[in-house]
Amino acid sequence: MLDKLNELELLTLVIFGEARGLDHCGRLAVGCVVRNRVMKNKTNYKIEILKPYQFSCFNPGDPNRELLERIAKKIEYFKESLPPIQRKTEEIFNRLDKTLLGEGALFDCYTCALAVMKGCQDITTGATHYIATYWAMPEWIKGMRMTKIIGQHVFFVEKCF
């Protein structure tokens, strides 16, 4: 179901899945990481977001994945059932936020995704990776340089040798 979504919808969901408990700045930072990967790898948002095991919210067995798949189904439902004038992505996320969650987080993740795709300033200083501060540091961090700490996430970029 996730592969049917467009890039803006996917970016919104990865921000929501990874950072919905953070403030606007923390959510924006996660979006910047995705954009930095797109630019570094010369790919697109869909490819980077759907690469296996890149974003834990999409990993098999992660509790967020089920929620994100339910939201993806709702997005597809709204795109098919709403009158054409109401099928705009903004309208869909606004409706989903009110009907599914009612807390404003999903719509804020949408505004962050939109800002990232429109080229907002990179607040992570080029980070291509991040980890929550409450997780144990994995092996891959050895080849990284920390760029920022924003909220509960530590951001990293590959070391240049």
Average pLDDT per consecutive 10 residues, the chain (161 residues; last block may be shorter): 91 96 96 98 97 94 93 87 72 74 80 97 97 87 94 91 57
pLDDT score at 99: 67
CA angle 155, 24, 111 (to 5 degrees): 110
| Among 57, 58, 72, CA closest to 6 | 72
Token pair in block for residue 49: 């977001």
pLDDT score at 136: 84
pLDDT score at 89: 77
Q: Is the dihedral of CA 118, 124, 126, 132 positive or negative?
A: negative
pLDDT score at 1: 78
The pTM of the full predicted model, rounded to 2 decimals, is 0.90
